[in-house]
Structure 1
Amino acid sequence: MTVPEDLPSEVFPPAIQPEEVAAETRLTSCWNRISPRFRSLSTASWAVGIVLFAIVVGSLRQTVPLSMVKTPMCNITSREVLSAIHRAKTSFCKDELEKFGCALQTNSIYPKSLPNLCPAESTGGEEVPVKLDHPPTIRILFVLTVHGRDSRQIRRLLKLIYRKEHYYLIHVDRRSEYLFDELLLLETARYGTFPNVKLLRTRHAPIWGGASLLTTLLDAMRFGLEESGWKDWDYFLNLSESDLPIKTNDELVEFLSRHYGKNFVKSSGLTTEKFFKRQGLEKSFFECENRMWRMGVRTLPSGVTIDGGSDWVALHRDFCQYLQDDAMGELLIGLRKIFNHTLLPAESFFHTVLRNSRFCHTYHNNNLRLTNWKRNKGCSCQHRHIVDWCGCSPNVFRTEDEKKILSYSPKPIFFARKFDPMVDLKIINTVLADLDEYPPGMVLADIPATWNRHWLNLFGGPRGEFPSDAARSLFEGLSQLESDRRLPQAIELLKLDLTPDVIFVHATMSLHGERHLVLTQALPSLLGPEITDDIQEQDFAVSSSHGRDDLVEERLISVKDHFRLHEPLVEGSPASRILNLQVSTNFDEKEEIFRNYAFVHGPDCDPALAYTVSEGPAELLSVVWIDPADVVAGSFELNVTAESHVGLHQPEFRKPLRPGVWSVFLMHRWKPIAHTKFLIVPLLPAPGQLDGIPAAENAGPAGNVYIVHNFTSVARLFPSLRPAAKKAEADRNARKTGQELRGWIRELLADFFIVEDVCLGEACRTTEWTSLYHDDSLVFPENRLGTVTDSSGLGTATAGIGLGTATDSSGLGCDL
């Protein structure tokens, strides 16, 4: 099975790895040295050599078992199928792709035609009235499909939409274990009785554009129809952690009562041809390895109308019941075969079933949502790492979008998306104010402190697993960082060479856009065995059996800004356009921010430079990267266009990157005009490894080369570089172990992080920046709870860790 060499670039992205370049260079050099010897051999010598080679190959083939020789399932001719098989990493996925590709060639996947069951007298339009008697109280099944670690934002959403008469079913991404553990507490009777809140135990790992999202929604629908005591809901409405209501629950219920029986979906509004092209509906896709592989052109069945738009819906119970009861009917079986191999199937499946079933007259072209589309930013192919397609995603609402949201007040729009408190917290508080969630007479300037700040968990939970070795090194180093505010108990720990036990790390965002880290740690000199057991409890209570509350220390940590300009600001000069330089990982192209909030950079990371420029003349600049040993790692051209924008420059370096302080210079005509610094944190020994063995990753790349190129001429532009001395120092640092290694890490961190404040134990409850700060203003209104009491923990406002007091031992309610 060969891969054609003329595949288009979008099938095989032209990504040449530095390792491949280096290997090719070595092979070429080797061949140049030995080829003259081969050319000098006689014809007879060549003949003998060929015979001997054939004998050796033949003997080897006889030793290979026939079971190891893979026979192709068929002669695949599709370039896209061959490309997918070639790029897949696991043999299982390769086999599945090959099997599917063979079935495509025999036209045995999709039906040739399907029945349209829409009654002939129906226009399928939204003007046809629906005459169904609705119950006195409309009940909604809210389905929350969530992922990540932001339990606070999800609880905020739940608080806004919670009523005792509705039902709340939460699906947590299979990869988000911390979030699942946090939200699971909502079911626990220990924290109150919430029989109308449940988490799905059958969990999937949906990816953008994948068929798994449709499966998730159908699973939730089935659960809602079959769960005992949940069978009286009227509408299925799905939300995510990025959604917020912009009208009250009562207004939503009143609207659904007036339009009872309708199904609310949003069509794309495009012509059939344009919609098919944009969605890739004429292509087959196959999901495996958490990726949607494009598998070539297909022919959709005749007889049915394919429709689609948004995957956020509000569906009547009768239609949901039909999807379950008639699942084995010809129409639904055929459509499932189509949408199991469709990109973004949840955006078309429900629309298409409605158009072609007896429910066609209930189709209402409004999904009750406002989506913040900014296609010039949201359609930048940011999902190419998980799908063979360029798609679009909506942007996060910001403060300047307030008028846009308010303009929908008179319209039947009840939710908006997306909101992200780590991007813009102020717009969220504005929405809360419009919903009358503040106490009477309160204005934005007077809101409680915890409404002025958001906490996002980066690390911590009952599983206690660091996200990476670099994160463990960074967080443990921050826990020991020197500070003028260091507490006496922590000073004693340093004298004893004891390391605090990091429990949580949160990233925080203030109302004014200021970001910090909040590190929560237990002081080990105070811990006994029974206290250590308490820490492992799911509620993360850190308290002693003796009633002591001085075990937890929290530290407020800021990140230093190392951006500097080299020239005086002269209007019109290239330097005058440079507003900021920042290096990190996980850049969000839509929101133009780095999502690596703790700036965790290890030797195996892929750093990128984000540069912010104002409007001005287009310029050709250069970017020079210099490692801690004063080695020029790379030099690249950078075309800066005339408009104001945030750009990204991401080189490909050989790994591992040398730990220590790196510098990045922006050059104009080979003179530095701006620079910044970033840190590659050295790695501590992995758990279970001997502390006296240096980490190989701390030594830098093989041969001291990041890119196969000679940068000697670039290095001469920086006369202060001392590569020989710095390389010797870097080698000494790479051999450090134990406390010497930890001391080096603390020394490096001191140049990039500042401990601004520290609190201990009970004092943290009255310190506004801490994750333990208590806020009574977020207690649930009693008219929403019915018989549910505040013992649930849903009414408190501290972080996901309690100090073991009688009023809040759960660590749960803090996030609402």
Structure 2
Amino acid sequence: MAVGRNERRSRSLCACAHRPQLASYSAQFPASLSLLKLLLRPCRQSEKPLHGIYTNRMLNISQRGAKSEYLYSKFQKVAQLLPNNVYVTSNRRNPVWGAPELLSLMLNIMQDLLTNFPSWKWDFLINLSETDIPIVPNADLIRILNAHRGQILVKATDTAKHEFIKSQGLGKAFFQCDDYVWLLGDRQPMDGVVIHGGSDWLILPRYFCAYAALPEQQDSLVRKLVAWYANVILPVESFFHTLAYNSAFCELVVNSNLRFVNWQRPRGCSCRLNQTADWCGCSPSVFSGPRDLYRLHKARLLHSSSPTSPQLQFFARKFDSTIDVAMVNYAEVHLIGRELPDSSRNLNLFLESVYSSQYDQPHQAGGDSAVPGALLGFRFLASTAAKFAQALDRCIDDYS
């Protein structure tokens, strides 16, 4: 009965929905802003999404993992070369997979962007990772966004709501402290709110980002959801969906995120065999081989038959040069028409440097000689064990 009341409430809200007054910053084409979250070390792979989407109408804000000094320095140089289009935030974090902090990361970057960069004119925010590559030219993305200006593009799950809530652990309470997430136990659902969810890859209009992130524009619904999702794992997979469908903007939601995600279950769910994990999710597979090549071409051909359909797929994931660099190069050359540099040799080979003398060469105190590798390994294991014990004690004290 409670679900029925919530569904009636949702329909009544949608009946009052209105299209917001859009302050579009382009008369003909929307300007999009991509939030590029990079956690891996390979610089060449991390540059792929930026190369694929960069135009003078694309603004990019990059977030580095707190432990990735090498990547952070590399992309700071990119930002210096393109100061009007690329910004590398100093708000660096080391997000844990599925952790509640992922939502606060998204909201804080939105708030930082809207507050500190008012001169940046953009209409949509698109979150990306280093494993995303566009499979059609930028002109196709601009055409699609122009056709859906002011709409909220989030992909909903096909799973029934009660099954989704169970599979996502939304009936459980989790607590994050440092780099660890702890399962605390069961908890009651929110009253008067219908849970929605799906993919955590989003395309959000500017006004909706302001509504979700700016305190002066938040209402009681936003504040209630932010507080409740502070103890939710995988929060981005349902927070923005739930907010959009329960708000006055629910009629502006489009069930699409323009993504082609390479799901191959149960192949990507191997961690569920680990009995030591409190919770486990699934991960998409990397595009590799003739079968995946055919699927990418099939998705690409749909753009010619229905060029403005929201069900088109612009970004595909996952691509990984350490697994199949030839697939990455093929997507760039044959799907989006990008020319690879002629000066590059052996493009179908991937060589990754795991050492930088600037960031990776530790020295003994008071001397210039490098610490032997075996001793470094022992120190790493010892320090990791000590940090874990300290974090556990502190987290228990904080929670109690």
TM over 0.5: yes
In the alignment, what sits opposite 1:136? 28
Does 1:122 pair with 2:14? yes
Q: 1:385 to 1:450 in 2, by over 3 A?
A: farther
Q: What code does the residue aligned with 1:343 have? A: I
The 2-side partners of 1:313 and 1:253 are apart by 16
Q: Shift in Å at residue 461 of structure 1?
A: 5.0
Aligned to 1:263: 152
Report the counterpart of residue 352 of structure 1 in structure 2. 242
Q: Residue 204 of structure 2 is aligned with which of 289, 292, 315?
A: 315
Find the counterpart in structure 2 of residue 374 from structure 1. 264
Q: 1:304 to 1:161 in 2, by over 3 A?
A: same
Aligned pairs for 1:30-49 within 5 A: none
Q: Hey, what's the Cα distance between the residues in 2 that align with 1:115 and 1:327?
A: 25
Q: Deviations over 1:175-214 (max 9, x none)?
A: 21211122111123xxx34321111111111111101211
CA separation in 1, counterparts of 2:22 and 2:100?
Answer: 33
Whether 2:304 is the aligned partner of 1:415: answer no
Contact 1:211–1:345 under 8 Å retained in 2? yes
Q: Residue 361 of structure 1: which of 247, 251, 256 is its match?
A: 251
SS of alignment partner, residue 33 of structure 2: strand
Pairs within 5 Å for 1:82-481? 120=12, 122=14, 134=24, 135-188=27-80, 192-228=81-117, 230-325=119-214, 328-381=218-271, 388-400=278-290, 401-409=292-300, 410=302, 412-432=312-332, 433-438=334-339, 449-460=345-356, 462-465=358-361
Separation in 1 of the partners of 2:322 and 2:53?
Answer: 21
On the 8 A contact 1:291/1:386 being kept in 2, the answer is no
**Letter in structure 2 aligned against 1:427:** M
SS at match of 1:233: coil
RMSD between superposed Cα atoms in Å: 3.4
Q: Write out per-residue CA displacement over residues 351-374 of structure 1, whole angstroms, 9 at most, x where no aligned residue.
A: 000011111111111111011111
1:114 and 1:334 in contact (8 A); partners too: no
Shift of 1:131: 9.0
The equivalent residue for 1:671 is: none
Cα distance in structure 1, aligned partners of 2:43 and 2:200: 23
Alignment CA distance shift 1:284-1:685 (3 Å)? closer
Deviation, structure 1 residue 329: 2.6
Question: Is the helix fraction higher in 1 or 2?
Answer: 2
CA–CA separation in structure 2 for the residues paired with 1:133 and 1:144: 24
What is the CA distance between 1:451 and its match in structure 2?
2.2
Counterpart of 2:388 in structure 1 is: none
Determine if contact 1:354/1:360 at 8 Å carries over to the other structure: yes
In structure 2, the CA distance between the partners of 1:684 and 1:207, relative to structure 1 (3 Å rule), is: closer
Partners of 1:114 and 1:395 lie apart in 2 by 36
Question: Structure 1 residues 199 and 318, CA, compared in 2 at 3 Å: closer, same or farther?
Answer: same
Give me the whole-angstrom Cα distance separating, in 2, the residues matched to 1:236 and 1:324: 13
Q: Which residue of 1 aligns with 2:386?
A: none
Q: 1:121 to 1:114 in 2, by over 3 A?
A: closer
Q: How many Å apart are 1:265 and its aligned residue?
A: 0.7
> SS where residue 324 of structure 2 aligns?
coil
1:464 deviates by 3.0
Shift of residue 124, structure 1, vs aligned partner: 10
3-state SS of the aligned residue for 1:424?
helix
Equivalent pair of 1:262/1:316 in contact (CA under 8 Å):
yes
Distance 1:384 1:259, change over 3 A: same
Would the alpha carbon gap of residues 130 and 246 (structure 1) be closer, same or farther in structure 2, given more than 3 Å must change? farther
CA distance 1:435–1:378, shift in 2 (3 Å):
same
Q: 1:403 to 1:337 in 2, by over 3 A?
A: same
Between Structure 1 and Structure 2, the one with more strand by share is 1
Alpha carbons of 1:321 and 1:686: their partners in 2 closer, same or farther (altered >3 Å)?
A: closer
Distance 1:447 1:228, change over 3 A: closer
Structure 2: how far apart are the matches of 1:363 and 1:120?
Answer: 16
Q: CA deviation at 1:320?
A: 0.8
1:76-130 Cα distance to aligned partner (Å, 9 max, x none): xxxxxxxxxxxxxxxxxxxxxxxxxxxxxxxxxxxxx9999867273699xx999
DSSP 3-state at the match of 1:422:
helix
Change (3 A) 1:423 1:142: same
The answer on whether the counterparts of 1:116 and 1:303 sit within 8 Å (CA) in structure 2 is: no
CA distance 1:221–1:117, shift in 2 (3 Å) = farther
The code of the aligned residue for 1:356 comes to N
Going from structure 1 to structure 2, the CA distance change for 1:451 and 1:279 (only over 3 Å counts) comes to same
| Structure 2, unpaired ranges of 5+ | 303-310, 380-400
Q: Which amino acid aligns with 1:355?
A: Y
Distance in 1, Cα, partners of 2:355 & 2:118: 37
Shift of 1:462: 2.4
In 2, Cα distance between equivalents of 1:331 and 1:115? 16
Alpha carbons of 1:116 and 1:453: their partners in 2 closer, same or farther (altered >3 Å)?
Answer: farther
Structure 1 unaligned regions, length at least 5: 1-112, 470-498, 503-681, 688-694, 697-816
C-alpha distance in 1, partners of 2:109/2:335? 31
1:197 partner letter: V
- Seen in structure 2, the aligned counterparts of structure 1 residues 434 and 372 have a Cα distance that, compared at 3 Å, is same
**SS of alignment partner, residue 454 of structure 1:** coil
User: What TM-score do the two structures reach when normalised by structure 2?
Assistant: 0.80
Alpha carbons of structure 1 residues 227 and 199: separation in structure 2 relative to 1, 3 Å: same
Distance verdict in 2 for CA 1:181–1:387, change over 3 Å: farther
Evaluate the alpha carbon distance shift between residue 382 and residue 168 of structure 1 in structure 2; reply closer, same or farther with a 3 A threshold: farther
Deviation at 1:450, TM superposition (A): 4.4
- How far is the alpha carbon of 1:277 from its aligned partner? 1.2
Change (3 A) 1:431 1:259: same
TM-fit CA distance, 1:387 = 5.5
Q: What is the TM-score when the length of structure 1 is the normalising length?
A: 0.41
Q: Distance in 1 between matches of 2:140 and 2:208?
A: 23
C-alpha distance in structure 2 between counterparts of 1:146 and 1:136, whole Å: 31
C-alpha separation in 2, matches of 1:293 and 1:242: 28
How far apart are the structure 2 equivalents of 1:430 and 1:299?
49
Count of residues in Structure 1 that have an aligned counterpart in Structure 2: 357
Higher relative contact order, structure no. (Cα contacts within 8 Å, ≥ 6 residues apart): 2
3-state SS of 1:451 partner: coil
Instruction: Give the Cα–Cα distance (whole angstroms) in 2 for the partners of residues 254 and 295 of structure 1.
Output: 46
Q: CA deviation at 1:323?
A: 1.3
